[in-house]
Amino acid sequence: MNAQTGYHLTLVKDTIQGAPALHSGVCVSYNGKWLFIGGRTNGLHGFQPPFAFPTSGRNEIIYVVDPLLNQTWQSTATIFPDSIFEAICSSNMEYYLEDSILYIAGGYGWKNSIGDFVTFPTLTSVNVEVLINKIQSNQSIEGLFLQTNDSLLAVTGGHLVKMNSSFYLVFGHRFDGTYAATATGIYTQTYTEQIRKFTVNHYSNYNQVTFVGAASDTTLYHRRDYNLVPQIFPDGSFGYTAFSGVFQKGINQPFFTTLDVQNDTGIINTGFNQQLANYHCAVLPAYDSLNNNMHSWFFGGMAMYYIDSTNGQMVTDTAVPFVKTISRVTRDGSGIMTESTENFKLNNYEGSNAYIILKEDSIHLENKLILRLDKISKPTQIGWMVGGIISPEPNISTTDPSSSFASPFIYKIFISPDSIVGYNTGIETPCLVRVSPNPSDGIFNFDLYKYKENEPVTITIVDTKGTVVKVICENQILKKRTSFSWNSKLFPNGVYYALLQNGSYRQTFLIVKE
């Protein structure tokens, strides 16, 4: 079930000075800068009271990161009143960025006034442009956050989106009290089993929230900690698809069904079960308008199924472990959904509660949320994967959850059409080249399998700025299968492109030195 055609992913580690290691909070991008609020600095939560979510792991810092300047700024959230401070420093809140206004709903965290954990019944907003500018210039950020209260906002593990003129709180649950692996009478948990619709009138000093209805389903909507992914549907309309999540009612298993959400309605996708990504993880939505295919890539996370790398067989693990799988769900123009895997895996058991940050390039984005694949004709960096949880082993919930940690890693994400990244897609081409190993920390081998023998071959290595760093061969007439190599040991780690020309035929290969 490997994804052999279409588009290919490449991940390259990046380093940004001072960038935080976080998960399960707010992460948005505005004018090329990243904003992080709340979430956790430790790894997987514990499963025993009294402190499965210790305040020592609560993120109390607001971070601004500029990936191009390689610089990070920060400001403490402790200056705010407890009502704001505790809500924006909670975990698994729902959030949505509309223009420059960020809305944060709910979230689970410690409430000092009652000495216990709650799901906050709040909607907190802030102008991110003003917030980012003040943090960068080391000015006070007091008074920037506005907050309103309503019990219907007390949701964690759901999602907040806006379609047309209304906001929607989609699924999730209300969890009050100290978390424990089994019901001990120290907490209450209620799934919303709803898509809650409301409007917000945003004023300079307050928000007016008005709930206008809800769609309910006690079975299909009984889910949390799932992925809600922006989609372009086969008819060209915009909406979201809810992928997987936990737990099925009365069964300690994740959901495998998916639901399409447009306005306040969730419609089940019959005939399709998602198996390879069941909890919230980093997700990349991408649309190919030429073929009317909607792709959703899922990076690691946790799943009840994974592919055994030794024999390619599906493995079932009812403990729902951390996985390294990069899977893709594709919906074609007729609405048929299929699931496949990439030809490589993540380096670690990671991706759970991580963030995908798309580069803000209008050429490549649809609705500011979805990558436009048909606009990509060459290897292109389209964004980053940031943060999340890293686990040393697949199953640690019953052994040592504290052995996991918030990921300090940042990965650049590159996408290339399969036809130009050095893979044999089965399409007849004038020249076929294989690059191995790729990635490599030294020698790259270029094996030319077939080409026009009467036309010259040139292979040139360039960096991401287009600067030529090495000419492998130049205008050579080759009479038989030939191999060339490039020793990259003296060159910095990162992404390079190998440009192949065989007469009038040209091809580009993305190669990674690490």
Q: Are residues 4 and 59 in the same domain?
A: no
Q: How confident is the model at residue 428 (pLDDT cuts 50, 70, 90)?
A: very low
* pLDDT at 42 (0 to 100): 96
CA 486 – CA 176 distance, rounded (Å): 59
Shared-domain flag, residues 314 and 196? no
User: CA 36, CA 491: separation in Å to the nearest integer?
Assistant: 33
Residues 145 and 82 in one domain: yes
Residue 233 maps to a domain: no
Mean pLDDT, residues 200-206 taken together:
90
Q: Judge whether 262 lies within some domain.
A: yes
504 with 361, same domain: the answer is no
Highest averaged pLDDT of the listed ranges 275-289, 372-386, 435-449: 275-289
Instruction: Write out the DSSP string of 176-230.
Output: EE---SS--SSEEEEE--EEEEEEEEE-SS-EEEEEEEEEE-TTTT--BS-EEEE
Q: Domain ends where: 422, 448, 479?
A: 422
pLDDT at 13 over 50: yes
Residue in 174, 177, 168, 205 with CA at minimum distance from that of residue 191? 174
Residue 274 vs residue 464, higher pLDDT: 274
Asked whether the predicted pLDDT for residue 305 surpasses 90, the reply is yes
The yes-or-no verdict on residue 429 having pLDDT over 60 is no
Q: What is residue 109's DSSP assignment? A: E
Cβ neighbour number for residue 55 with a 10 Å cutoff: 12
What pLDDT, in 10s, does the model give residues 125-152?
A: 999 999 999 999 999 999 999 999 999 9
Mean pLDDT computed over 488-505 = 83
Same domain, 35 and 125: yes
Residue 3's pLDDT band (cuts 50, 70, 90) = very low
Whole-Å CA distances, 499 to 63, 229, 426, 495:
39, 35, 21, 13
pLDDT at 2: 47
- Residues 301, 383 within the same domain: yes
List pLDDT tens digits, range 68-85: 999 999 999 999 999 999
pLDDT, residue 419, reads 53
What does the pLDDT read at residue 156? 98
State the DSSP code for 503: T
The predicted structure's pLDDT at residue 430: 52
Residue scoring higher pLDDT (119 or 442): 119
Asked whether the predicted pLDDT for residue 228 surpasses 80, the reply is yes
Burial class of residue 447 in the structure, from the number of CB atoms within 10 Å of its CB (0-12 exposed, 13-18 middle, 19+ buried): middle
Please say if the pLDDT value at position 491 is more than 50: yes
Q: Residue 311, class by beta-carbon neighbours within 10 Å (0-12 exposed, 13-18 middle, 19+ buried)?
A: exposed
In angstroms, how far is CA 458 from the centroid of its own chain?
38
Q: Residue 48's pLDDT band (boundaries 50, 70, 90)? A: confident
> At 512, is the pLDDT very low, low, confident or very high (cuts 50, 70, 90)?
confident
How many independent structural domains does the chain possess? Answer: 3
Q: Is 62 helix (H, G, I), strand (E, B) or coil?
A: strand
What local confidence, expressed as pLDDT, does residue 52 receive?
Answer: 87
Q: How many CB atoms lie within 10 A of CB 470?
A: 15
Pick from 366, 401, 408, 405: nearest CA to 386: 408
Q: Are 36 and 82 in contact (CB under 8 A)?
A: no
List Cβ neighbours of 184 (8 Å cut-off, separation of 6 or more). 49
Cβ atoms of 510 and 495 closer than 8 Å? yes
- pLDDT band with cut points at 50, 70 and 90 for residue 213: very high
**pLDDT classification of 450: cutoffs 50, 70, 90:** low
Q: What is the separation of C-alpha 292 from the centre of its chain, rounded to a whole number of angstroms? A: 22
Q: Radius of gyration of the chain from Cα atoms?
A: 24
Element spanning 458, H or E: strand 457-463
The DSSP element (H or E) to which 64 belongs, if any, is strand 61-66
The last residue of a domain, from among 224, 253, 272: 224
Residue 484 sits in a domain of what CATH number? Answer: 2.60.40.1930
* Whole-Å CA distances, 500 to 207, 312, 442: 57, 33, 20
Question: Domain for residue 231, yes or no?
Answer: no
Phi-psi region of 106 (alpha: psi -120 to 50; beta: other; left: phi over 0): left
Query: Would the pLDDT of 451 be above 90?
Result: no
Same-domain pairing of 323 and 220: no
pLDDT for 18-29, tens place per residue?
A: 999 999 999 999
Q: Which pLDDT belongs to residue 431?
A: 58
Residue 257 φ/ψ, nearest 5 degrees: -75, 160
- pLDDT-based confidence at residue 4 (cuts at 50, 70, 90): very low
Same domain, 133 and 168: yes
Q: For residue 85, is it within any domain? A: yes
Which has more confidence, 228 or 417? 228
Residues 99 and 169 occupy one common structural domain: yes
Read off the pLDDT of residues 71-127 as tens digits, 9 standing for 90 and up. 999 999 999 999 999 999 999 999 999 999 999 999 999 999 999 999 999 999 999
Supply φ then ψ for residue 269, to 5 degrees.
-90, 100
- Residues 172-191: what's their mean pLDDT? 88
What is the predicted pLDDT for the residue at 114?
96
Q: Judge whether 60 lies within some domain.
A: yes
Task: Note whether residue 232 is domain-resident.
Answer: no
Count of alpha carbons within 13 angstroms of residue 171, beta-carbon side? 31
Assess whether 127 and 203 both reside in one domain. yes
Q: Which domain holds residue 96?
A: 22-224
Residues 75 and 14 in one domain: no
Q: What is the mean pLDDT of residues 384-388?
A: 97
Q: What is the pLDDT of residue 265?
A: 87
Helices and strands, number each (H, E), in the chain: 2, 42
Give the pLDDT confidence score for residue 74 in this predicted structure.
98
236 lies in a domain?
no
Place 12 in a pLDDT band, splitting at 50, 70 and 90: confident
Question: Would you say how long the chain is, in residues?
Answer: 514
Judge whether 137 lies within some domain: yes
Computed over every residue of the chain, the mean pLDDT equals 90
Is the pLDDT assigned to residue 420 strictly greater than 60? Answer: no
Angle at 104 between CA 77 and CA 64, to 5 degrees: 50
C-alpha to C-alpha distance for 18 and 15, rounded to whole angstroms:
9
User: Band of the pLDDT at 468, cuts 50, 70, 90?
Assistant: confident
Over the stretch 341-376, which tens digit does the pLDDT of each residue have?
Answer: 987 899 899 999 999 999 988 778 888 899 999 888
Residues 443, 335 within the same domain: no
Rounded-to-integer distance, Cα 159 and Cα 367, Å: 18
What span, in angstroms and rounded, lies between the C-alpha atoms of 30 and 362? 13
Q: How confident is the model at residue 467 (pLDDT cuts 50, 70, 90)?
A: confident
Q: What is the pLDDT of residue 183?
A: 64
Instruction: For CA atoms 431, 469, 357, 324, give the dihedral sign.
Output: positive
Beta bridge partners of 409: none
